[in-house]
Amino acid sequence: MLAPGFPLADAIAAADAALGRRNAPAVDAAYAAATLLVAPGTTTTDSDGRGHDLWMAVAVDHLVALRRLGAVTRGLRRCEDYLGRAAAAGVDPSLLLQERMQLRDCAADPRGAAADAAAMRRLAASGKRPISAAQDGRLLRAEASAAAAAGDAVTASRLLDDAERALRAAGCADVSIIDRDRALLRVRQGAEPDVGGALAEMLDGEWPETVESQFRLAFALKRQLHFEAAARVMTTVTGNPDLDPALRLPALYELVTLLLTMRDDRAAHALRPLLDAAAASWPDPAGAARKIALLLSSAPAPAPDPAPDPEPERAVRQVQRLIAADRLTEAESRLARLTPPADPLAAEPATDPGAGRTGTSTIEAAQEARDRAEWYLVAGELQLARYRQLRRPELLQAAVDDLGRAVRATAGRAWLTEVRILATRLLGEAHHWRAEYGQASARWAQAHQLEERLAGRQISDAVRVGMLAPVPDEHDERVRFAAERTAENAEGAAATAALVVAMEAARGAAILGGILPAEAGLTRDLPPPDDHRSAWAWIRATADRLPRSQVVWMMHATPLRVHHAVIGPNLLHHIAVDCRRGELGDAVDDLMGSWSAGTLESAVGRAAFDAGTRDIAARLDVAAVVRHLPPDIRRIALVVGGVLADVPFAALPLAVPVRSAGATAGRAMPLGLRFALSDLPCLSARSPLSRRSRRVRGDRSLLVDPAGEGITPARGIHAQVLDGARATPAELAATLARRRHRQVRLDCHGRYDPLDEAGRWLQLRPEDASGRLPPEALQAMDLHGCGTLVLGACESGMATRTGRDERLGFVRAALHAGAASVVAARWAAADPVAAAVLDRFHHHLRRRTRDVALWQAQLDVCRAAPDRQVLDCAPDHPARWACWTLYGDAGWQTGAGVARRGLRRAADHAPIRRR
């Protein structure tokens, strides 16, 4: 005990006070001053009469305090200084080595910690400093950490067992840390079936104090596929302003790795400046920069150093990188250095490695399972790559065998899910090359289901959706293969026809039965992928009788590309555009966020809308597709799904401005003013919808007008009217059941909340919940007498995506109920402009096809607003009129023949009557 008033006692008291304030620089300065007040080797006697080195005691306290504060770099620098002073004075350095060992362990340097443990054991062997039981336990723990980092989980488990016995023999209170180390090691090797037991208690209880413990926790969570939870741990670590500089690069690198695993490339690349700054202060800046570039590069990774990695898992990654770089000979040589599983039959499904086992045997079983699965995976991957080059059947058979063993080796082992996904996906590719298309699709579907389960382990919906957006399903894989064969196939158009069939298959196997349940014979017997002749015949049969002025424009977004296919009379053209589906989805979400009613009322909001449509048009390269259209094309039927179904194609600007009365000077013409657009659920639906439409042609109309506040009354429409109190859901259903009206228009308010089923309705009378018409009630009505249903409500064209490709909403409900076509709004439309567009649409239906009638109505409003109220709403802006979309059949609604339509055309002198 040092008496107060002495300089050494005052310095230590200042250090203790700074420690209480968690002020690492002050603690460091106070202890540094204290160690200068006493010489190394100065002995003091405690109350029991035992002698101690006072300088050593102060130095060790200094290092312990810095370690507790997380100031690892300061601690390591001080430790090197103290070791030099101890060597110069001939003082035993064992205690300093022990502290450096623990500091290195905190700095995620297990090899350095193990080197210090070895140095202490050498000193003990020389007789200079015996090792106590407590010290032995800590040395064993450091050696276990080094063994785990080297991939030797069995040795690590054995050393932890020995460390626990030593610490218990010494009566150490912190022996429970071994239980945590063992739990983390088990999770790291996959021996824990899930984040449970000690790890779950750690998550729910007190947060790990040291950065080293947080690193271990994040790594364990990552191994159990809880990537978002691991990223949250590492976000806490990297956000710590007191994080030691020595740990900043490893922490940032691990966080970026997790973000990339969650497929959040944008967030990962946003951390690049911080990574580069941390790499600049790393002991090997050039090596750190190369590692960062490799991590964030989208190109195939360069070949690794020729020296094989001693850890099996990293050695497997090296072989995979060589395969990706198309260096197959080197990959085969590197794979030959890895020990294959001794018994192929051992790859059969096994029970949980943790069942009936404890300690080392559990870790050993888990490690063997991982090594076996990864060896078969990379072997199959190599054989498949060699088959792509040489096209030898025996290589393909070997790939199927090895990949099948990899899949079986991962059965029932959740911690090997990522291995199982890749093996299953590659096995699907191998089956596809063998023309076993049913098995290929089944394998690809299984891989996607596993991806969905993997995403389901994350915490938030946003991360789950983001992880699945770039993942190909079985339809994406089929489209990809068809596109590859189109590029290399000499049959030209016939191979492109097979690609169109693949795109059609991606629109959902059950979509026809779900949308057109009453139509007979709606089975899609699509040709197989390699039958190009049948594919071309299917296209001719499915897209027959297209008018000369119309084409079908199909689109499909795969994870990396958007495929465009244009089909018309004697026309079949395919374009593939590089476009990441996840980024496209983000762009569409941003655009949808700008088209609320309040936002579009302002010039700033409309400018944001314009920016969003320009971005999407550029990503899809719409101008390139339009340039390839024949000059006489005026009508386009769009067939889109997935993220593309939310794109307002009518508002997309063409890259090159065109001269037209419908275009504003200085603004590129939107697609919806240059072409008459319509939307088909799939190409196979065109003919049955056309047949349905021919049965319900006519001009008799029904106007449903509950006289809602703020709704401009319809004008110039000759129709039966359900207005006021008569405009109830029940009265509407009864009127539709008579099947007398071929055109039905609902002028009412509406709401569509994709997240809340109770928030989806059209408001009829009375003006309360009993007057609301939800999509399922509309679907239950009889619309088989209706050729054109106009939903004049805001957001009536919105839909909720379910499953892979199905979209539920008012449009699908109406088609399901029997309507041949539906006109609805994608977003909140300004009421005066909406009324003008729909009035003009009704007018033009008397002598034009549905798509041309809507196109002409939109042109009319852009050319000349009917009154001041409409003009004040900026009607020429796409945000005002492009929300209106025609779904279903685009053909004739009127039953009038050519002569009567000609008379009606002659009677129309002005497109809009001034009111």
**Residues 449-490: pLDDT tens digits?**
999 999 999 988 889 988 998 899 999 999 999 998 887 655
Name the residue with higher pLDDT: 367 or 257: 257
Query: Coil, helix or strand for 572?
Result: strand
pLDDT at 480: 93
Q: Supply 645's token pair.
A: 């179904």
Query: Coil, helix or strand for 535?
Result: helix
State the pLDDT confidence band at 659, using cuts at 50, 70 and 90.
very low
Q: What is the chain's length?
A: 915
pLDDT at 517: 64
Q: Supply 567's token pair.
A: 């089909």
**Residues 274-311: pLDDT tens digits?**
999 999 988 788 888 988 988 887 544 443 444 444 45
The distance from CA 784 to its chain's CA centroid, rounded to whole angstroms, is 41
> At 873, which helix (H) or strand (E)?
none
First to last CA, the chain: 101
Winning range, highest mean pLDDT, from 116-120, 294-298, 713-717: 116-120
pLDDT at 356 over 70: no
Architecture of domain 7-219: Alpha Horseshoe (1.25)
- Cβ-based neighbours of 650, under 8 Å, separated by 6 or more: 670, 671, 672, 677, 858, 878, 881, 882, 884, 885
- Pairing assessment for the beta strands 788-791 and 821-825 based on DSSP bridges: parallel
Distance CA 709, CA 707 (A): 6
**Residues 363-378: pLDDT tens digits?**
566 667 888 899 999 9
Distance CA 76, CA 116 (A): 13
Query: Coil, helix or strand for 800?
Result: strand
**Residues 723-768: pLDDT tens digits?**
989 999 999 999 999 999 999 999 998 888 776 777 889 999 998 9
Distance CA 113, CA 99 (A): 10
pLDDT at 793: 74
Using the CB atoms, write b or e for 707-746: b if 16+ within 10 Å.
ebeebbebeebebeebeeeebbbeebeebbeeeebbbbbb
CATH class of 680-907: alpha beta
Would you call 341 exposed, middle or buried from its count of C-beta atoms within 10 A (0-12, 13-18, 19+)?
Answer: middle
Q: Report the alpha-carbon angle 44-45-50, nearest 5.
A: 125
- Cβ-based neighbours of 861, under 8 Å, separated by 6 or more: 833, 836, 837, 840, 870, 875, 876, 880, 881, 912
pLDDT at 265 over 90: no
Q: Can you tell me the mean pLDDT for 31-37?
A: 92
State the pLDDT confidence band at 651, using cuts at 50, 70 and 90.
very high
**Residues 839-855: pLDDT tens digits?**
999 999 999 999 999 99
Using the CB atoms, write b or e for 538-565: b if 16+ within 10 Å.
bbeebbeebeebbbbbbbbbbbbbbbbb
pLDDT at 231: 94
pLDDT at 869: 65
State the pLDDT confidence band at 508, using cuts at 50, 70 and 90.
low
Distance CA 245, CA 134 (A): 31
- In which residue ranges of the chain is CATH 3.40.50.1460 found? 680-907
State the pLDDT confidence band at 316, using cuts at 50, 70 and 90.
confident
Q: Can you tell me the mean pLDDT for 173-182?
A: 75
Q: Can you tell me the mean pLDDT for 408-423?
A: 90
pLDDT at 867 over 70: no
pTM of the entire predicted model: 0.77
What is the number of H-type helices and E-type strands within the chain? 41, 18
Q: Which residue has the tokens 């040092």?
A: 2
Name the residue with higher pLDDT: 28 or 341: 28
Query: Coil, helix or strand for 11?
Result: helix
- Pairing assessment for the beta strands 749-752 and 760-763 based on DSSP bridges: antiparallel
* 8 Å CB contact between 156 and 363: yes
pLDDT at 579: 95
pLDDT at 61: 93
Distance CA 880, CA 861 (A): 10
Q: Can you tell me the mean pLDDT for 557-565?
A: 96
Distance CA 650, CA 517 (A): 29
Q: Report the alpha-carbon angle 646-648-654, nearest 5.
A: 135
Q: Which of 321-325, 386-390, 827-831 has the lowest mean pLDDT?
A: 827-831
Mean pLDDT of the chain: 84
Would you call 465 exposed, middle or buried from its count of C-beta atoms within 10 A (0-12, 13-18, 19+)?
Answer: middle
Residue 478's nearest CA partner among 445, 518, 446, 452 is 445
- Cβ-based neighbours of 198, under 8 Å, separated by 6 or more: 179, 180, 183
Percent of the chain at pLDDT > 70 equals 83
Query: Coil, helix or strand for 823?
Result: strand
Q: Can you tell me the mean pLDDT for 871-876?
A: 74
Q: Which of 256-265, 695-704, 713-722, 871-880 has the lowest mean pLDDT?
A: 871-880
Q: Can you tell me the mean pLDDT for 177-187?
A: 71
Q: Can you tell me the mean pLDDT for 66-92?
A: 89
Cβ of 149: how many Cβ atoms within 10 Å?
16
Distance CA 180, CA 753 (A): 46
Q: Find out whether the peptide bond into 766 is cis, omega within 30 degrees of 0.
A: yes
Name the residue with higher pLDDT: 9 or 415: 9
Helix-strand-coil split of the chain, %, nearest 5: 55, 10, 35
**Residues 132-169: pLDDT tens digits?**
888 898 899 888 888 887 777 788 888 988 988 988 88
Residue type at 861 in one-letter notation: V
**Residues 776-819: pLDDT tens digits?**
999 999 999 999 999 987 656 555 544 444 456 899 999 999 99
- In which residue ranges of the chain is CATH 1.25.40 found? 7-219
Q: Supply 271's token pair.
A: 């951390």
Name the residue with higher pLDDT: 207 or 295: 295
